[in-house]
Structure 1
């Protein structure tokens, strides 16, 4: 089973990369508890910025970028994490996914996440990232994870789960979808409807 994380962080070190690592660890740990082994590949878009720009202009990806695109489209599941710029995903993040064939992510389980300086930008997950991957026909897990600067090290309160709990919950949801895909039921099997699967993932 292969899990790919795409991180669009620009700084070094990057909180976006840190969040991507925490999320992939949560997915891997959950799947390990279910008896599955997972190969994780984290892609840093920062190192591919020039190649992405050249591809947009020429229409042809250089070999390194072509390999990365193949890794993303060939993965069993995807974790996509972007920093927030001007109340939306970064230009580098959007430019990269503009290079993905619109049909290539159809049915692929995706966990979306974002980082920012303030919690005021958390709705970027619902008004920008989720519509993007819905357009690409991916299966986006119910829980999206936003990490503001103040969230790191926070345990939450009586009304809001802390960042570690949200990471575990989202990772568990993606792990559930990946484990279901790994089972690969035949057409004669009794397959639960997608809506029922998602409702089972939700926590009351």
Structure 2
């Protein structure tokens, strides 16, 4: 996706310049499961993908209206991992999202259930001031090395990576909000234009 602005989230990963909430191993690549969807929208129209589900994880991406037409993509991938210094991103599938419009911030809804949901919930209880691992082609404010700081460039992934900070604690995106109900954990990631990968 050379012209897109992609992010990964390994919960959490962002990419499109990159790959929010959960996750590529170094060396030989294992067999991967992948599911994705994309939606094309005209200029001036908000753009939302349908839900994508892989195992315990469901992903939906909503992009703001753009001055130009745009295609918004949501993808879940197993057997991949980001490499945040704080760890994280070990539950659920890696989320990769993008819009080929350079001016469209995105809201990413990442839902995880079962054992993976329990793992994300436990991680949030242990450290509610940061969660998961987010990768972006652009540097951003996150949590790394035990404090709030700039993301770290990980050459093997080609992305700047850090754990996400909760919305309200930072004035900039990306950030997350956390909700849990009936064994289902929902992470809502607010990402700026061009932000792409996440893992829990």
Q: Same fold (TM over 0.5)?
A: no
Q: What's the TM-score, normalizing by structure 2?
A: 0.29
Q: Which has the higher strand share?
A: 2
The structure having more radius of gyration, on CA atoms, is: 1
